[in-house]
Amino acid sequence: RIDRIMSYVKTDGVPSPSLLKMAKIGVIIDDWMQKLDITASAIQCWDSLQANYGVNVCTLMSMMSEQLLPSACEVDVTGVVSMYALQLASNTPSALVDWNNNYADDPNKCVLFHCGNWAKSFFPEDDFEMGYAPILGSTLGDENTYGIVQGRTPSGPFSYARITTDDRNGVMKAYVGDGMFVDDPMETFGSRALVEVPELQGLLRYIVKNGFEHHAAMNASHSAAILAEAFETYFGWETYHHNA
């Protein structure tokens, strides 16, 4: 299992004990998923694993997502359902992201970030490596947070989606849309991308006013129309198709 990890991502500078811990828990997760025929997962990656086991499992989650077995952070179950929906629409891996900082003074651009576990397909081969998570490391110690994958997604098509539960009304709801990954200068760490979305401020207002989580699923495709049709026509969900 260590060999599989090291052939998947550059591990220069990662301590051997951290790689061994990743390999061990990877065997356990794979065995559990195979026995129960599980095809998607949502893992408690913040911050129990670091505090109790001393490693990040982002690389393992990235490897699963790359194999079209999507894996979401922070036990975000409807987040991984959103990832899975985009994956089915495009037949390519999805990732879970934070809607993050606006970009400079451009109202239609923003940073997407996770610390991170995005599938390898989102990155150029020469910009994909394992590291540690400095945010978690600031309180738990960097040595307990090795295992993230980091790099930047290059320009190209971009779709986003979020499914959630409206618990008071007992219904499902969603939003979907398309944009573009762009290559403007950006300095940060982790798994990251800069995106351009038409009328982004309107989308963010909709997300906040309608109680959606800060997580969204993304995919390197233009698949929003497919999801809107599936969610509305076949599932009967209230679905906002941004800028349709």
What are the tens digits of pLDDT across the range 199-214?
A: 999 999 999 999 999 9
The CA dihedral of 127, 133, 135, 140, to the nearest 10 degrees, is -170
The C-alpha torsion from 145 through 8 and 85 to 239, rounded to 10°, is 50
pLDDT, position 225: 98
Q: Are 27 and 33 in contact (CB under 8 A)?
A: no
Amino acid 101: pLDDT: 80
What's the alpha-carbon Rg for the chain, to the nearest Å?
A: 18
* Residue the block writes with tokens 């990235």: 62
Q: Per-residue pLDDT tens for 108-159?
A: 999 999 989 999 999 999 999 999 999 999 999 999 999 999 999 999 999 9
Query: How far is the C-alpha of 149 from the C-alpha of 128, rounded, in Å?
Result: 7
The per-residue pLDDT for 51 is: 96
Average pLDDT on 58-79 reads 98
Q: Which residue has the higher pLDDT, 46 or 112?
A: 112
**Mean of per-residue pLDDT scores for the chain:** 97
In the chain, the amino acid numbered 228 is A
Q: Does the structure show a pLDDT above 90 at 242?
A: yes
Q: Are strands 106-114 and 238-241 parallel, antiparallel or unpaired?
A: unpaired
Rounded to an integer, what distance in angstroms lies between the CA atom of residue 225 and that of residue 26?
A: 36
Contact 115, 133 (CB under 8 A): yes
Query: What is the pLDDT confidence band of residue 71, given thresholds at 50, 70 and 90?
Result: very high
Neighbours of 107 (CB within 10 A): 14
Whether 33 has a pLDDT exceeding 90, the answer reads yes
Examine residue 47 and say whether the peptide bond preceding it is cis (omega within 30 degrees of 0): yes
Its pTM surpasses 0.85: yes
What kind of architecture, by CATH, is found in domain 2-241? Alpha-Beta Barrel (3.20)
pLDDT the model gives residue 244: 81
